[in-house]
A and B are shown apart, each in its own frame.
Chain A
Amino acid sequence: MTRSDRILALVIGVLAVVAIPLIAAASVQGGDSVVVTGPGGRTVLELGVDRTVVVDGLCGGVVVQVSQGSVRVTDSTCPDRVCVHSAAVDSHGGVIACVPNGVTVVVCGDGERGLDAVVR
């Protein structure tokens, strides 16, 4: 590695490290709801209520499971299944995406649900 290579890596690394606390500061701890967005619209689930829903995606169904205060994608029709292999998220700002299906699962706090519907 040349000196310029190291400087480039350092600059990119510093920018990324600086961005991490900025994003964390913008987040409020303790999300209480899960916004599932798909091609058919949005669905809001309570993070404290265990529940499993199937969301219609672009290439089939995406199974979203809320369990014990966290949410994960347990099954999907997408080819690479990155969403299924993603870890469960339970804190505000946590996100899981199934891009082939156009479905995202985001943990939100109070006042930012922009409710279309609440599923209980």
Chain B
Amino acid sequence: MRSSAEVSPRLRTVSTVASRRVALGGMLLVCAVALGLIESWLLAWSPVPWLRLGLANIAVVVALSCIGPRSAFTVSLLRVALVGVAAGTLFGPGTLLAVSGAVCAFGAMVAVRAAGPRFSVVGWSIAGASAHVVGQFVAAAVVTGSPALLSLVPLSVLASLFLGVATGLIARPLISRVMSAA
């Protein structure tokens, strides 16, 4: 039996990298939950209450870039669950909307990311924001049985373009910092 001092340098490196990924994922999850809660509080003062700013998506974009799609998806879904617990809306229709938006946004961001370096994180963010809006409104129309809600989609998608650019521009320097620190 080998002591810890005898562990091979390669194994130690792999273990360190894995630990850093877990730590980074946890840190980004905390950031996503905090941003999600701040956003839910800001809703009370928003002139367009049904439009979300997508602040939590900043953490998901950073996660997607720094720790990969699988971990980023975990961060995204856990964020929805934890915000639901904190806001007392878990297992309600609101969580269904949030999950729909998160899944659609994540799928769109992964698809754009897979297209290669032609798209930057701003492009991922734009795709994610637009898909998030569409996913949420489709889910809302299904939950309430009211297709009339879909009439709000075009204006919301237009607004999400600007919000997607903004969150992407915020995420870009954060990614550079995280990557250089890792």
Interface residues of B in 129-175 (CB under 8 A from A): 130, 140, 143-146, 148-149, 151-155, 157-158, 161, 164-165, 168
From B92, B148, B161, name the one whose CB has the most chain A CB atoms within 10 angstroms.
B148
A119 at the interface (CB under 8 A from B): no
A53 at the interface (CB under 8 A from B): no
B89 at the interface (CB under 8 A from A): yes
A109 at the interface (CB under 8 A from B): no
Kindly provide the distance from the CB of A19 to the nearest chain B CB, expressed in whole angstroms: 4
Contacts of B157 in A (CB 8 A): 12, 15-16
Encoded as 1 (CB less than 8 Å from any B CB) or 0, chain A from 78 to 98 comes to 011110011000000101010
B58 at the interface (CB under 8 A from A): no
B66 at the interface (CB under 8 A from A): no
B46 at the interface (CB under 8 A from A): yes
B149 touches which of A8, A59, A104 (Cβ 8 Å): A104
Contacts of B46 in A (CB 8 A): 85
Kindly provide the distance from the CB of A97 to the nearest chain B CB, expressed in whole angstroms: 6
Say whether B118 contacts A2, CB under 8 Å: yes
Q: Closest A residue to B117 by CB, please name it.
A: A2
Bound Cα distance from A34 to B154, whole angstroms: 23
Interface residues of A in 1-37 (CB under 8 A from B): 1-5, 8-9, 12-13, 15-17, 19-20, 23, 27, 37
Total number of A residues with any Cβ neighbor in B under 8 Å = 34
A99 at the interface (CB under 8 A from B): yes
Q: Closest A residue to B52 by CB, please name it.
A: A82
A49 at the interface (CB under 8 A from B): no
A63 at the interface (CB under 8 A from B): no
Contacts of B143 in A (CB 8 A): 99, 102
Bound Cα distance from A5 to B158, whole angstroms: 15
A103 at the interface (CB under 8 A from B): yes
16 contacts between A and B (CB under 8 A): A1-B120, A5-B120, A8-B119, A8-B123, A8-B126, A12-B127, A12-B157, A13-B161, A16-B153, A17-B158, A59-B92, A81-B44, A86-B49, A97-B146, A102-B93, A104-B148
Given contacts A82-B43, A100-B93, 8 further A-B contacts (CB under 8 A): A3-B118, A5-B120, A9-B164, A12-B127, A79-B92, A80-B94, A99-B94, A103-B144
